Amino acid sequence: MTYKLFYSPGSAAMAAHAMMIEMGVKAAFVLIDNEKNEQKSATYMKLNPHGRVPTLIYDDNRVMYESAAICEFLTERHPEAKLAPAIGHADRGLYLQWMAYLTNTVQEALMHWWHNEYFVDGAAEQAKVKAKAEERLGKMWAFLDGELAKSGPYLCGSTWYACDYFLAMLIRWTRKMPTPGHTYPHLNKLVRAAMARPAYAQMLKDEGIEQPV
């Protein structure tokens, strides 16, 4: 089985990228330079009509996008990596809950902070969207930190899963915020745990990025 993952440094591809390294799959990691707007090139838009990264090619010519879906798909194809609880496993409900919450709530709030121009026109209105996103994200980090304090150290307890990689990725996206996610003690431990995994450390190196802790 070989794969091609289209990524930009520090993008929503980070979690899948680290997982593919951890799984030891045969893969080509193809750089799409968002700074040069390559994600909107005609060639790339044929693969991903939304012009975003990541995109995964598998089985030679099958194409899929959406980072959380890619992570799920990889865990299904490579169960031996144990990056998701098996179907029917007691952790499975919680695992699915976190994957959905992280991608449809936390990631979406992060989009409002980074790309408020997608939501409203005008600098004053955009500043309001950004401020509201920051307020909402603060509540989410406090909530997640509390959950990890109660039943961590990882999202589903004592086993590290894809959702933890996903959370570590989203926390990196807060590095320019006044109160970044990694300043919460239990989220900090989770980021440190991610960075202690050789695959995550390798992904950061390969993407040429750092993650503050």
Residues that bind ligand GSH (CB under 6 A): 8, 11-12, 34, 39, 51-54, 65-67
Residue 199 Cα distances to 41, 47, 89, 110, 122, angstroms: 30, 26, 25, 24, 41
**Please, what is the minimum distance in Å from the beta carbon of residue 117 to ligand GSH?**
11
Amino acid in the structure at residue 111: M
**Please, what is the minimum distance in Å from the beta carbon of residue 32 to ligand GSH?**
8
**Please, what is the minimum distance in Å from the beta carbon of residue 12 to ligand GSH?**
4
Q: Which of residues 35 and 60 has its CB atom nearest to ligand GSH in the complex?
A: 35
**Residue 82, both tokens:** 């144990």
Exposure string of 128-151, with b = 16+ CB inside 10 Å and e = fewer, is: ebbeebbebbbebbeebbeebeee
Closest by Cα among 52, 63, 85, 73 to 156: 85
Q: Which of residues 52 and 78 has its CB atom nearest to ligand GSH in the complex?
A: 52
Q: Which of residues 54 and 85 has its CB atom nearest to ligand GSH in the complex?
A: 54
Q: Which of residues 67 and 116 has its CB atom nearest to ligand GSH in the complex?
A: 67
CA–CA gap between residue 101 and residue 120 (Å, rounded): 24
Q: Are 165 and 19 in contact (CB under 8 A)?
A: yes
**Please, what is the minimum distance in Å from the beta carbon of residue 112 to ligand GSH?**
12
Q: Which of residues 63 and 149 has its CB atom nearest to ligand GSH in the complex?
A: 63
Q: Which of residues 89 and 115 has its CB atom nearest to ligand GSH in the complex?
A: 115
Closest by Cα among 107, 82, 104, 85 to 94: 85
**Please, what is the minimum distance in Å from the beta carbon of residue 104 to ligand GSH?**
9
CA–CA gap between residue 207 and residue 72 (Å, rounded): 22
Amino acid in the structure at residue 102: L
Give φ, ψ of 25 to 5 degrees: -80, 160
**Please, what is the minimum distance in Å from the beta carbon of residue 137 to ligand GSH?**
16
